[in-house]
Amino acid sequence: MPDISFLKEIALANIRMPKMPFKMNFAITYRCNYRCKMCNIWKKPKQNELSPKEIESIFSSAPFLRWLSLTGGEPFLNPDIDKIAKSASLFCKVSILNIPTNGSMPQRIFKKTKKICELAINKTIVTISLDGPASVHNEIRGAKDAWKNSLKTYSKLKCLEEEFKNFGVFFEFTLSPFNLNCFEKMIADAKAEVGANADDFYVTVFHVSKHFYNNKKWNI
């Protein structure tokens, strides 16, 4: 059921500055098992990640948060991702939780996502990277099984939509210089293999950030 008060809060944020921030993008790990062409997060140091207790202290001091994005790196490489989501649900008024993933670990992602769905957050959304037909996607992500794993993860999570009405899964196509003119072919291939269509995709544009992605050399 839509959180009407939160939807109103989002709408009002377009015309006036909210008193407190309501959305947080939280990188819960810099670990990543892919070597994507447009992102160098995997090169960042991996030591000194926050513990679940430290993260809990952050959420306990931010009860005003309504929209939380757990990012990475590959967020499902953090074994405590479900505990982190639980802390957010306990200490914040989270209405939307979204988690982007490269889809590389179908079984782990399925198990952790199911635990997160059981928290009964108003809406939980997982987006799975798919950046072109198989050969293009595998090349961009630097992994020969990237396409196959993304489709397998999507199929497994799609079953959770039947069990949890608060859950949705989508593919996420990140437009970059490496996959121009690939969208229609990708849609056709994904439809043939897992029944997905254009409505099952989010489209984003890759970002250049010396601080976060460490990919300052790209200019768009």
Q: List the CATH number of the domain containing 158.
A: 3.20.20.70
Long-range contacts made by residues 186-191, C-beta under 8 angstroms, separation at least 24?
186/130, 186/131, 186/132, 186/133, 186/136, 186/137, 189/133, 189/134, 190/130, 190/151
For 45-66, what is each residue's pLDDT tens digit? 777 889 999 999 999 999 999 9
Residue ranges making up the domain that contains 83: 24-205
Is 8 part of a structural domain of the chain?
Answer: no
Is 10 part of a structural domain of the chain?
Answer: no
Is 34 part of a structural domain of the chain?
Answer: yes
Is 122 part of a structural domain of the chain?
Answer: yes
Q: What is the mean pLDDT of residues 166-189?
A: 95
Sign for the pseudo-dihedral over CA of 102, 103, 108, 114: positive
- pTM for this one? 0.88
Is 7 part of a structural domain of the chain?
Answer: no
Strand intervals (E) in 11-109 = 23-27, 67-71, 96-101
Is 80 part of a structural domain of the chain?
Answer: yes
Is 106 part of a structural domain of the chain?
Answer: yes
Confidence of residue 86 (pLDDT cuts 50, 70, 90): very high
- Does a cis peptide bond (omega within 30 degrees of 0) precede residue 142? no
For 99-157, what is each residue's pLDDT tens digit? 999 999 999 999 999 999 999 999 999 999 999 999 999 999 999 999 999 999 999 99
Is 153 part of a structural domain of the chain?
Answer: yes
Report how many domains make up the chain. Answer: 1
